[in-house]
Structure 1
Amino acid sequence: MFTAGFACRVYGSYHYDNIDVYVASQILILCAPPLLELANYHILGRIMYYIPYCAPLHPGRVLTTFGALSFFVEILNGVGVAWISRPDAKQSIIDIGHILMKASLFLQCIVIGLFCVIGAIFWRRCARAGVSKVKAVQIPMITLYTSMALIFIRCVYRLVEHFSISSAPTKRDEDFDPMDLSPIVRWEWYFYTFEAALMLSAIVLWNGAHPRLYLPEKYNVYLAQDGKTELLGPGWKEDRPWLVTFCDPFGWFWKPKKTEQRPFWEENDGSEPLVHKERQHLQQHNEMV
């Protein structure tokens, strides 16, 4: 999406009169970062599957809950950009577009904050359990936080930029002076520094420290509480209906039924570790690196 967006931007720099290319470049570039967030949600869920006894919520609900919030942000983002990018749109439509864009950026910052809080709770529990230094936890979590920090800085930049754009007059008259606009709108280097460079860094970051180098392929492989042994468990099971867990992932309103059965990670009782050969090979490779 970034590649297509920047390709449209380059093409549009030589074809100023092509409004469709301009609109396409704006939508593609602005809607891509929430997809990077979506990848981060999925990765945190996989880390929680690997350390289930430290997870503050069902690992599968990390992706679905935050993914749904990101989907809502994407809708506001896409509609807002499309409306404010059309020069022939009515002033009322443009004003609504600006409101939608501001709302989407505010919500994106809030969602990032909530996600980081959940990640911090999980990491604190890992530290108490003595598994925070495990490579499969430490390296992906540091990469995760760095990636989210880059996206958050980009969101703040876009928020400041958009308030500057929305304050500019829509209809230009003879008295309009472009130099009266905010430097963040007039100068291109702000965009290349706080949008292009940051998002490229976030992409390169995950390619350099890919989670598959540290996490198992299957979600039901988890780390025993000794911090060394990998076991093949039944996977995380939820007694509540899926819709209930989606609406209330923390169990604040609809609590699961109490049962005498212990969690699966407490029932390994010294069972023989079930580690796949491919996983052993991957661990040996990481140690060599």
Structure 2
Amino acid sequence: MQLKEVCMDPNSNANYSFMYCPSLPAAILFSVLFGLTTLVHVVQAIRHRKAFCWVLIMAGAWETAGLVLRVFNVVATTSLAFGLPSQLLILLAPLWVNAFLYMLMARFVHFYMPEKKIAGVSARRLSLIFVLLDITAFLMQATGGSMISGSDPSSALLGIHIYMGGIGLQEIFVLGFTGLVIRFHVVMKRLTDSGRAAAFWKWPLYLTYMSLSLITIRIIYRLVEFSSGLDSPITEHEAFFYVLDALPMLSVIVAWNAVHPGRVLVGPDSEFPKKIKMSRAQKKAAREAKKQAQSRDLEFGFGKQAESATQLMPAAQPLGWSGESV
């Protein structure tokens, strides 16, 4: 297969993947850039021992894979083997960035907040709640995105509506999360002003604001793109995709290379405490010990109850001849 652009009239072939003449150099450039920043994140995650950064690595990997497939799709524009997987990976990759921000903020709360909670929600529960919400949006967008490229127009239109619902839900979660980020910012500023916290949290927090803003720009672009159904004028210009989708996501991932969480989250409280897993033998021994303890408590409990009952009985009073107490 030769790497050469194929440009044709979209109406001439039902399997043609684009509504414009796609740019091969742009697809190659962005696939290389996403690949490089992803490799750097792999090295940084290993170096700083931040296992939770795998979600950001997944975002970069999906973007890279999606754009590499786009390169082949530009060459073979009528091949659904490249077009559909490429579209799905690019549509869903930003949700990994969302998950990263949720998990990162939860660790900031655990690391910086004295009570290790924000707005009454513990750090660990905060991460769990928003990741589950992110999975919900992911499933909706995956379902809708897989239907958009179908040959049946009615099915494709339904897929657009489902995808728009999923991406709209994603933005609602982003706005709710932004409120918690602002709350964290207010509390941390108060702690920093009083000298009870260092100011190392500021740059990662500013970068979180930037990431959420770029994600919102990308969501608005996708909502506008699909709001006109299958005949949106935005889909006729490739520049919109690179400027309002690929570039914002690349900027977010590269920015976290520059301000990596591992440079800030350092120390024993930088990660959630690990739960100790017991082996089967240890679990069995623990159950036996619990049963023995319950048996002892039961045995001594009856003895104590009997002793208590004896102590509570009124003392016998000597009776006079008349039968009355003396």
TM-score bracket relative to the smaller structure: 0.5 to 0.7
Deviations 1:195-246 (A, max 9, x none): 111111000000110011111154368xxxxxxxxxxxx9699xxxxxxxxx
Counterpart in the other structure of 1:8: 69
- SS of the residue 2:78 aligns to: coil
Q: Rg bigger for which structure?
A: 2
Distance 1:125 1:84, change over 3 A: same
Distance 1:82 1:235, change over 3 A: closer
TM-superposed CA distance for 1:139, in Å, is: 1.5
Counterparts of 1:193 and 1:46 in 2: how far apart (Å)? Answer: 32
TM-superposed CA distance for 1:20, in Å, is: 2.3
TM-superposed CA distance for 1:8, in Å, is: 0.7
> Is residue 148 from structure 1 mapped to residue 212 from structure 2 by the alignment?
yes
- Unpaired stretches in structure 2, ≥5 consecutive residues: 1-61, 276-326
Counterpart in the other structure of 2:251: 201
Counterpart in the other structure of 1:120: 182
Counterpart in the other structure of 2:191: 129
Counterpart in the other structure of 1:72: 136
Any conservation in 2 of the 1:147–1:202 contact (CA below 8 Å)?
yes
TM-score w.r.t. the length of structure 1 is: 0.67
One-letter amino acid of the structure 2 residue matched with residue 158 of structure 1: R
- Unpaired stretches in structure 1, ≥5 consecutive residues: 169-180, 222-233, 238-289
**Equivalent of residue 263 in structure 2, options 204, 207, 213:** 213
Distance 1:217 1:80, change over 3 A: farther
Any conservation in 2 of the 1:157–1:194 contact (CA below 8 Å)?
yes
TM-score w.r.t. the length of structure 2 is: 0.60
> Is residue 191 from structure 1 mapped to residue 241 from structure 2 by the alignment?
yes
**Equivalent of residue 111 in structure 1, options 173, 188, 203:** 173
Counterpart in the other structure of 2:225: 161
Distance 1:11 1:217, change over 3 A: farther
Deviations 1:84-142 (A, max 9, x none): 1112x3x4422321111110111111111011001111111112223697343111111
Any conservation in 1 of the 2:69–2:83 contact (CA below 8 Å)?
yes
Q: CA RMSD in A?
A: 2.3
**Equivalent of residue 39 in structure 1, options 85, 100, 123:** 100
Sequence identity percentage: 27
Counterparts of 1:53 and 1:29 in 2: how far apart (Å)? Answer: 39
Any conservation in 2 of the 1:19–1:86 contact (CA below 8 Å)?
no
- What are the within-5 Å matches in structure 2 for residues 77-96 of structure 1? 77-87=141-151, 89=152, 91-96=153-158
**Equivalent of residue 28 in structure 1, options 89, 96, 102:** 89
TM-superposed CA distance for 1:60, in Å, is: 1.0
Counterparts of 1:133 and 1:30 in 2: how far apart (Å)? Answer: 39
Counterpart in the other structure of 1:99: 161
**Equivalent of residue 139 in structure 1, options 198, 203, 209:** 203
The total of aligned residue pairs comes to 209
Counterpart in the other structure of 2:123: 59
Any conservation in 1 of the 2:65–2:86 contact (CA below 8 Å)?
yes
Counterparts of 1:206 and 1:145 in 2: how far apart (Å)? Answer: 12
Distance 1:145 1:205, change over 3 A: same
Deviations 1:258-287 (A, max 9, x none): xxxxxxxxxxxxxxxxxxxxxxxxxxxxxx
Counterparts of 2:136 and 2:238 in 1: how far apart (Å)? Answer: 29
